Chains A and B, each alone.
Chain A
Amino acid sequence: MSRHRQKIKDSISIAITGSGGAGVMTAGNLLLEVAAQAGWYGLMVRSSGPQIRGGEAAALLRFAHAPIECLDDRFDVLIGIDWQNIHRFADEIPLDGASVMLGDPDQGEPPEVFAKVGASYAPLPFKQMAKAIPGSWPNMIALGLAAGLVGLPADSVKSVLQKSLKKGGGEKMAANLAAAEAGYAAAANLPAVPRLAARVAPGASQKTAPGASQKSAPGANEEFAPGADARWLITGNQAAGYGAVRGGVRFCAAYPITPATEVLEWLAPALPKVGGALVQAEDELASINMIIGASYGGVPSLTATSGPGLSLMTEALGLAVAAEVPIVVIDVMRGGPSTGIPAKSEQSDVNIAVNGLHGDAPRLVVAPNSIADCVTATQWAVHLAEALQCPAIVLSDQYFGQTRAVVDPPADIGAAAARLKASAGAEGYKRYAITASGISPMAIPGTPGTAYTADGLEHNERGLPSSQSGDHIRQLDKRAKKLAQYDYGERWAEIEGEGELALVTFGSCTGAAREALARAAAEGIKARLVSLRLLSPSQPERLAAALAGAKRVLVVEQNHTGQLYRYLRAEYDLPGEVRSFRHPGPLPLRPDEIHQQITAWSRS
């Protein structure tokens, strides 16, 4: 099929699937690296069955010339290295009549669930092709094929493979380079798939990368975008780890849990390089109490976990509130309740994050709204925790955490750990002194003359246990006041666009909401977006200003009961008519379904 009949699109989506050992994730990661190398933006979402090793796997990729924050509604291409159990991904890989499926005829036909939507199918014998090149693998054929189909330069494939296979030695590299080349060449004889339009953001997004919209000459996708070599290829879990280090964290206690483990595994070698340390704890009860101990000792400290771990940590979070010890807990949310769906995303820990402690326990809850923002939001959370001597929960999720994306490096916001400390021999030192700001100087062990006991028991200003009503009220007021009075600045939310319809969302729904709004804008529907970064403490005045003039508010989130919606209804006076649009994980909220909500409501 000749190239001139190809469709031009703002983004291209490819899924690569196969059973365990087929090398799906390797091929996907390399394809993402090839795209990054070629100056494209892109992301790869990982999805796999529950097996530890050897289960079915899917690499879900999307490419564009502007930063991408979510998966598209559908996939242009599905490459099946094999089809074993791949029908299980039917919901996660929506195809339609315009989609193309490519598979190895020796592995059988594509699953009926894909074929019935009218996607076309073209066979390609991956296994035989790989067999013809001794020492090569079918997934390298698939890599070359995918790169060729979407029009990535052959040079980029070659240089990425050379870098990646360096360790394997000459023969292995030569064989797999040859396999990728064979796949790439085969693409020319297969049905055409859409090509990327020249440097236009998906849906003319308002959030284009610096430099991304500056040049739009035809064929620019063949060129190297200016500034593209400064970009990062990063997962949200790595980004959160790096944000912690940027914020000043130097101690981490770790207990492994899917899908947060990579935060901890990134920090393990990183912290010693910057003068810190990571210790593996026996459970989450230990990990959070360890970081409280370390932070009591003056060292900014953090741990990362997921829902089940956060449940175990709630007791100690209350201790950190009462004893006023700054700590940060990153919660990489997954499907719940209980063990739930460990390796898949869901925004269902809002309730526990904002309310999940006994007693009146003000705490900070910060949610990143993009993969790159995992750096900034975590850095900010560390800064806030330290400044306010309070625990901060960072609500990330599996989608952010385990998705790898090409991003513009987030600027260092300069918010490093800044704790108000007592000086040696402070006259009449009172650890929990009532002050105008509610923040009182914290004495760090080793400082002479300011010894005190930090206590989870209610206490007086000196820190001595007290069950008297006066002390209780004064300390409750103090802890509430310091969070209420603090100036959180502009970072509390991302506010974009205008119109009488407003979308209020947070976290990983932000990208899809933004894309839906851009599509609506292209149809002449004006609407605004408020993506909350600071969930707790609530900011009623700021949100009221952001929603001034709004007549309809649509709260968008990925959980079953509308946890954000309910929280907003409790904490805020939202203007006009308020509706909730939500569904639980593991399926992401896709731009199209949010777009449909916007258009339907706008026309009603």
Chain B
Amino acid sequence: MNAPAVAAPITAQAFKSDYKPIWCPGCGDYSVLSSFTKAFAKLDLQPENVAVVSGIGCSSRIPAYTNCYGFHGVHGRSLAAASGLKLARPELTVVVASGDGDGYSIGGNHFLHACRRNVDLTYVVMDNHVYGMTKGQPSPTTEPDWDSKLSPGGTGLRTFHPLVIALAAGANFVARAFSGDPNGTADIIADAIRTPGFSFVEILSPCVTFRPEQREWKQLARPAPVTSTDDAARAARRIMTDDGFNIGVLYKGDRKPYQPPIGKGKKRPSDLEAEFAL
């Protein structure tokens, strides 16, 4: 658990905890975990200065599997907890881990407002188009005709498009990654952390248990044929028209992060009493 001495460069291994994941064999989230630790090492972060915050779901188990400060809160509220932490402790690196149910359904409102607020956070959503922890119900990114016990014959609802919604809501960094490429994903996460403001990384992370057909994503995912843009309209058009498998940083803006000053005011509480005095 102890932080290594500062002399040697930090390794990804130093960010791994000794706690065994509960994930199914073949789950994409194993690779994402490895991308997290690689990205932290790549940025030469110290474990005590990193906090991984999550909600509830398979992907939200990540904090306990990393050897840095972790916060495993309630379903859908990870962005709120992480925003409070970052605003109160701006010197920390705060990374949020979520899934398509936690982040886009129950946490949908916080997603919109976190994009708007543009706190300097990195928001990583492991999207497998299914609620895995509750054993196979449709999420907002599930195809409308996907049959399940809870929604026999499919939900009939159109899918949620997180990337374009993030862009419209004001996210400063928007990327798509694929868990099958842990090194590429680590690079994208590192870039997201390095970029000030709210960075959103949607990771296609297959659920081999409830969506075995997602094994095919390995054949479909490919680097985006274009480089990242700082033009939100152009990025939106690309994201709206691609097939959902273009991997890479798709938008990078330069909006100033939201950070009210904290620790600056030096008055004593009793100085505030003058307001009440007769």
- Point out residues on A near B: beta carbons under 8 Å: 36-37, 228-234, 238, 242, 245-246, 250-251, 253, 270-279, 281-283, 285-299, 301, 315-316, 318-319, 323, 406, 409, 412, 425, 429, 443, 445-457, 463-465
Contacts and interface: CB of A to CB of B under 8 A. Distances in A.
A23 to B, nearest CB: 22
Given A274-B272, A453-B70, A464-B64, 16 more contacts: A233-B276, A272-B264, A275-B263, A275-B265, A277-B262, A281-B80, A282-B113, A286-B83, A290-B87, A292-B81, A297-B85, A445-B89, A446-B91, A451-B1, A452-B69, A455-B72
A242 B84 contact: no
14 contacts: A232-B273, A274-B267, A276-B265, A277-B87, A277-B88, A279-B84, A289-B77, A293-B83, A297-B85, A301-B88, A316-B77, A409-B273, A455-B64, A465-B61
Contact of B264 (A275, A289, A318, A406): A275
Interface stretch (B26-34, B41-49, B187-195, B234-242): B41-49
Majority SS at the chain B contact face:
mixed
Contacts of A450: 1, 48
B68 interface: yes
Contact of A445 (B83, B92, B266): B92
A445 B51 contact: yes
A319 B74 contact: yes
A269 to B, nearest CB: 10
Interface in B248-263: 260-263
A566 B196 CA distance: 53
A429 B77 contact: no
Contacts of B1: 429, 449-451
Contact of B48 (A230, A276, A279, A445): A445
A251 B262 contact: yes
A285 to B, nearest CB: 6
A246 B269 contact: yes
A463 B70 CA distance: 10
Contact of B271 (A232, A273, A281, A283): A273
Given A445-B69, A446-B48, A446-B91, A238 B276 contact: yes
B63 interface: yes
A298 B71 contact: no
A293 B2 contact: no
A293 B81 contact: yes
A409 B61 CA distance: 49
A289 B278 contact: no
A581 to B, nearest CB: 34
B3 interface: yes
Given A279-B83, A451-B47, A456 B74 contact: yes
Contacts of B91: 446
B39 interface: no
A413 to B, nearest CB: 12
Nearest to A455: B72
A315 B88 contact: no
Nearest to A406: B278
Contacts of A234: 276
